[in-house]
């Protein structure tokens, strides 16, 4: 997709999102849409470190949770507006990503992933013991009514999340096509060969981890306004870690479109399933889908599409 | 008074470490030696707990029940390895994302199946020794902790002997180093690995029995153990059984002290902090070879 | 500018009980054509790994063009002007052949706006037809060419070619030799590790033979070939 087409599409999407709250009467669209867009941000952000650079982060819950609680803290302490909460969350998430990258600097592969698993619990343990943000009891956040344009809070946070989704996709796309993306791909393929080709592997890894962490945190920041009540178990839920893996796996990790496809598909299926079937069956299906994809379609849907094209080509 | 508190905290930590140890020993084989990231292992332990509870409801001692299920679990482990082998090792791809997701998927399916069959409530077992304690001097040791501790240490010793003294154990240690060398000796690496996986699953059965003796269990109990067991195996040094026992003891004691003197809400962070610390400072663990 | 571009002083590297490199001291002159031979396991590749920074030696120093690089990470040494090709090709799978070449172009020098230079390099080694194909789809021969092209892309001052001709046909060997000769004429110091004797004899002005981590012969190719120690290592007593 050429850049000017992408920019045009992005502007169109944002314009639609801005207009929708005034014309669409059904509130459910915004409730469900928020979740879908949050998934897009999470999948895209995760893929920067996981898909492009090859460092599989199991601690997405830590970053989303940190974003949630950064927002709560800024709201409680400073009555900060939403955009400031998002910015603050990005800073904290970026720092956490930097820290995680630094701690696991020379570790790759399975060990890195195990280490990131630990991160979520370590961070949530700190939050659980911090009473200013509600500790284990949780915190209630009453979002102020948006003063202009937006008729209610949910359409306001919907638009905020839409903005973040477009922004994170744009960032991922830029990285993927730039020299940074090539360097990350080299690191993913062969760290030593990349170093000998002049790639500063450790620095690039830190960069990818920081960006990924910052964006993941921004997915959590609007959540307090959305739900009005947050508590550690759901903010740091392992579902975030699982979904962050599942979406790029389903959609494909090599390209920015993969996480988007995976996110929209997964959130769509989960929404439909929640309404129609009990939540346990829902989880069962997610688990079976994951196993199915890993066994049958390891490159995700994009990979399947690529193979289909190859089959269709005249030999 | 504080000394008494500390003493009992240390002792219960040591005893609890028995459960941690037996929970981790299976992972010492699959992850430590075979480098297979089986994050579903704790969920299999929970399955073992439920199986033990099932027979216990007919009056059988839970530990005996756990023992009876071990052949079944062994076969399950061999089967799971075959699936893993066909999907990953056959294809020659060691994609971390995919192998992790595979086992996460297995864990999820297993956990949900348990929920569907047994519900979400806590389940527990009955045994004559639960509720009674052994008193030696100022120390109080509940039997429900002592018995699993003994089992944990016994399994640990047994596993160490198996790895060091038997042909199967030798094959397992060898295949961890170099699968091709094993082939040249006329042994099948796949059989050695399948055997290892089966043994690891067998320990899960016993671990589950031990777990449910210590405290009631629900389908979500496995999640807490994922981090703990991996932390222990990494801290131990990959594939080292003595290391696993030492690491389990260390983490058990520190957790117990933290619960007593700092607060229970800080306890989950201990194992994970240990994991991160080990990875950052000495990734080869206490007893491992520096790679 | 001194005459020595690379100096290795008392380099030692052990892996467990095995001494892969056992006290190697070596000086390579600027613009030299140096060949390194020796049986498998004699430490040639480990020596190169120590020089390029992929492996940290236990003892000893590596000095490149007057600068002590012993503590520098590999990517810094690459930027200073050391390039190497790998014995077993290590392509960047997951991206195209063209992008493989763009990596050293972007990182050893500075990010290039387009792929012109990359395409030039590909046609130099005959891979321009495969530019947009994924790296994992190349044949083994093509992978070797990619290795060489990637090393050339770095525009090094010292090029270490580790078994770059293994498995090539005679005419392909000639092509690679021609490329290396041209490079050397332009001032690049070339260190060649090879098992293909006639090629390395034609190319090198100085030959070194290694065995179990030590240099056992060092001199003009004809002299080294006649050296009784070298004959023993290759042909036995």
Contact, A37 vs A162, CB < 8 A? yes
Nearest CA to B211 out of B147, B153, B138 is that of: B147
**pLDDT surpassing 80 at residue A147:** no
**What are C185-220's pLDDT values in tens digits?**
999 999 999 988 889 999 999 999 998 889 999 999
Distance from CA of A124 to the nearest CA of C (A): 36
Chosen from A180, A181, A198, A253 to mutate, greatest number of chain C CBs within 10 A: A198
Task: Write out chain B residues lying below 8 Å of A126, CB-based.
Answer: 269
User: Which pLDDT score is estimated for A312?
Assistant: 57
Q: How far apart are the first and last CA of chain B?
A: 46
Chains that touch B (3 or more CB pairs under 8 A): A
- pLDDT value of residue A315: 43
pLDDT at A185: 94
Which has more confidence, A137 or C237?
A137
What letter does residue A265 receive in the DSSP assignment?
H
The CA-to-CA distance between both ends of chain A, in Å, stands at: 27
CB pairs under 8 A between A and B: 130
Query: Exposed (0-12), middle (13-18) or buried (19+): which is C31, by Cβ within 10 Å?
Result: middle
The sign of the CA dihedral B177, B183, B187, B193 is positive
- Would you state the pLDDT for residue B291? 40
CB-CB neighbours of A67 under 10 Å: 32
Q: Which residue has the tokens 């998934």?
A: A39
- Determine the pLDDT at residue A200: 93
Q: Do A202 and C73 touch (CB under 8 A)?
A: yes
Q: What is the pLDDT of residue C18?
A: 83
Domain topology for C4-235: Rossmann fold (3.40.50)
Lowest mean pLDDT among A96-100, A275-279, B235-239, B278-282: A275-279
CA dist B192 and C230 (Å) reads: 43
Kindly list the residues of chain B whose beta carbon comes within 8 Å of any beta carbon in chain A. 31, 35, 37, 39, 87, 93-102, 104-109, 111-113, 115-116, 223, 226-227, 230-231, 234, 263, 265-266, 268-269, 271-273, 275-276, 279-280, 283
- What is the overall mean pLDDT for chain A? 86
Tell me which residues of chain B have a pLDDT lower than 50: 290-291
Domain boundaries, chain A: 3-237
Q: Is A129 in Cβ contact with B109 (below 8 Å)?
A: no
Q: And the tokens for C113?
A: 């706006």
Contact A196 C83 (CB under 8 A): yes
Within 8 A of A109 by CB-CB distance, chain B residues are 94, 96
CA distance A269 to A282: 9
Neighbouring residues of C104: CB distance < 8 A, sequence distance ≥ 6: A197, A198, C78, C83, C150, C151, C153, C154
pLDDT, residue B1, reads 66
Residue identified by tokens 């075959």 is: B82
The chains found to touch A (3+ Cβ pairs under 8 angstroms) are B, C
Tens digit of pLDDT for each residue in A229-266? 888 888 888 788 888 888 998 888 888 999 999 999 88
CA dihedral A67, A58, B263, B122 (to 10 degrees): 110
Quick one: closest CA in A to C115, which residue?
A: A179
Measured between CA atoms, how close is B231 to chain A, in angstroms? 8
Tell me which chain B residues have a C-beta less than 8 angstroms from the C-beta of A280: 112, 115-116
pLDDT in tens, C98-151: 999 999 999 988 877 778 888 988 888 888 888 889 888 888 888 888 988 998
Interval A277-303 mean pLDDT: 75
Interface mutation vs chain A, best among B84, B108, B267, most A CBs within 10 Å: B108
Distance (Å, whole) CA C166 – CA C45:
15
Is the pLDDT at A135 greater than 80? The verdict is no
- pLDDT at residue A297 tops 90: no
Q: Is residue B290 a part of any domain in this protein?
A: no
Q: What is the pLDDT of residues C37-70, one digit of tens each?
A: 988 888 898 999 999 999 889 999 999 998 999 9
Q: What is the pLDDT of residues A151-182, one digit of tens each?
A: 888 888 999 999 999 999 999 999 999 999 99
Q: What is the ipTM of this complex?
A: 0.87
* pLDDT mean over A34-49: 95
* pLDDT tens column, C136-188: 888 888 888 898 899 889 889 999 999 888 888 888 888 889 889 998 999 99
Total number of domains constituting chain B: 1
Other CB atoms within a 10 A radius of the CB of residue A100 amount to: 28
Q: Residue C81's closest chain A neighbor by CA?
A: A198
């Amino acid at each position: 997709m050429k850049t000017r087409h992408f920019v045009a599409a992005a502007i169109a999407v944002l314009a639609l999102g801005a207009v929708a709250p005034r014309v669409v009467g059904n509130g459910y669209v915004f409730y469900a849409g928020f979740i879908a867009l949050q998934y897009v941000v999470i999948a895209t952000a995760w893929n920067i470190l996981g898909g492009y650079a090859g460092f599989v982060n199991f601690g997405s819950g830590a970053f989303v949770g940190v974003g949630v609680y950064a927002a709560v803290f800024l709201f409680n302490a400073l009555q900060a507006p939403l955009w400031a909460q998002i910015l603050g969350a990005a800073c904290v998430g970026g720092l956490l990503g930097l820290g995680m990258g630094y701690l696991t600097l020379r570790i790759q592969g399975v060990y890195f992933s195990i280490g990131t698993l630990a991160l979520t619990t370590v961070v949530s343990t700190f939050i659980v013991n911090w009473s200013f943000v509600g500790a284990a009891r949780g915190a209630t956040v009453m979002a102020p009514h948006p003063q202009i344009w937006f008729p209610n809070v949910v359409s306001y946070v919907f638009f905020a999340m839409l903005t973040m989704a477009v922004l994170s996709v744009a960032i991922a796309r830029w990285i993927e096509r730039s020299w940074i993306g090539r360097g990350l791909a080299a690191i993913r393929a062969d760290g030593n060969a990349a170093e000998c080709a002049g790639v500063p592997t450790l620095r690039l890894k830190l960069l990818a981890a920081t960006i990924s962490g910052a964006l993941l945190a921004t997915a959590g920041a609007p959540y307090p306004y959305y739900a009005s009540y947050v508590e550690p178990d759901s903010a740091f839920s392992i579902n975030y870690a699982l979904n962050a893996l599942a979406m790029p796996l389903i959609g494909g990790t090599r390209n920015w479109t993969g996480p988007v496809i995976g996110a929209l598909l997964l959130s769509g299926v989960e929404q439909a399933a929640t309404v129609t079937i009990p939540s346990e069956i829902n989880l069962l299906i997610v688990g079976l889908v994951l196993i199915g994809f890993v066994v049958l379609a390891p490159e995700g849907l994009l990979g399947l599409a690529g193979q289909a094209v190859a089959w269709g080509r005249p030999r | 008074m504080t000394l008494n508190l500390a003493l009992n905290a240390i002792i219960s930590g040591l005893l609890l470490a028995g459960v941690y140890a037996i929970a981790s020993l299976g992972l010492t084989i699959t992850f430590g030696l075979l480098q297979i990231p089986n994050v579903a292992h704790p969920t299999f332990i929970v399955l073992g707990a439920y199986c033990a509870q099932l027979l216990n409801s007919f009056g059988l001692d839970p530990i005996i029940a756990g023992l009876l299920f071990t052949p079944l679990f062994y076969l399950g482990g061999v089967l799971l390895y075959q699936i893993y082998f066909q999907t990953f090792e056959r294809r020659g791809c060691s994609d971390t994302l995919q192998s992790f997701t595979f086992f996460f998927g297995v864990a999820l399916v297993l956990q949900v199946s348990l929920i569907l069959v047994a519900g979400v409530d806590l389940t527990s077992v009955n045994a004559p020794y639960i509720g009674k304690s052994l008193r030696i001097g100022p120390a109080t040791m509940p039997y429900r902790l002592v018995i699993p501790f003994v089992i944990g240490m016994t399994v640990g010793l047994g596993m160490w002997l198996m790895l060091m003294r038997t042909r199967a154990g030798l094959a397992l240690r060898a295949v961890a180093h170099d699968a091709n060398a094993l082939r040249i000796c006329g042994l099948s690496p796949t059989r050695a690995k399948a055997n290892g996986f089966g043994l690891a699953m067998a320990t899960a059965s016993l671990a589950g029995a031990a777990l449910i003796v210590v405290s009631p269990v629900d389908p979500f109990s496995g999640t807490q153990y994922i981090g703990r067991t991996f932390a222990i195996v990494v801290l131990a040094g990959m594939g080292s059984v003595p290391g696993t026992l030492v690491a389990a003891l260390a983490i058990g004691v520190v957790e117990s002290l933290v619960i007593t003197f700092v607060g229970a809400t800080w306890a989950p962070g201990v194992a994970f902090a240990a994991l991160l610390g080990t990875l950052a400072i000495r990734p080869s663990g206490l007893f491992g070879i520096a790679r | 500018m001194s005459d020595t571009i690379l100096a290795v002083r008392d380099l030692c590297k052990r892996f467990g009980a095995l001494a892969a490199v056992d006290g190697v001291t070596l000086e390579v002159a600027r613009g030299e054509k140096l060949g390194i031979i020796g049986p498998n396991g004699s430490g040639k590749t480990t020596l190169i790994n120590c020089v390029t920074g992929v492996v940290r030696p236990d003892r000893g120093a590596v000095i490149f063009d007057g600068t002590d690089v012993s503590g520098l990470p590999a990517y810094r040494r690459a930027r200073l002007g050391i390039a190497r090709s790998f014995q077993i090709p290590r392509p960047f799978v997951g991206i195209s052949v063209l992008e493989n070449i763009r990596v050293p172009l972007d990182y050893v020098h500075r990010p290039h706006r387009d792929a012109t230079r990359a395409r030039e390099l590909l046609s130099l080694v005959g891979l321009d037809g495969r530019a947009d194909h994924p790296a994992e789809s190349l044949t083994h021969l093509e992978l070797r060419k990619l290795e060489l092209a990637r090393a050339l892309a770095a525009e090094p001052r010292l090029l270490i070619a580790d078994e770059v001709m293994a498995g090539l046909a005679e005419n392909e060997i000639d092509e690679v030799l021609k490329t290396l000769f041209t490079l050397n004429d332009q001032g690049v110091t070339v260190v060649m590790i090879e098992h293909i004797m006639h090629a390395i004899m034609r190319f090198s002005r100085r030959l070194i033979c290694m065995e179990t981590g030590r240099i056992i012969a060092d001199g003009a190719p004809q002299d080294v070939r006649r050296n009784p120690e070298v004959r023993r290592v290759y042909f036995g007593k």
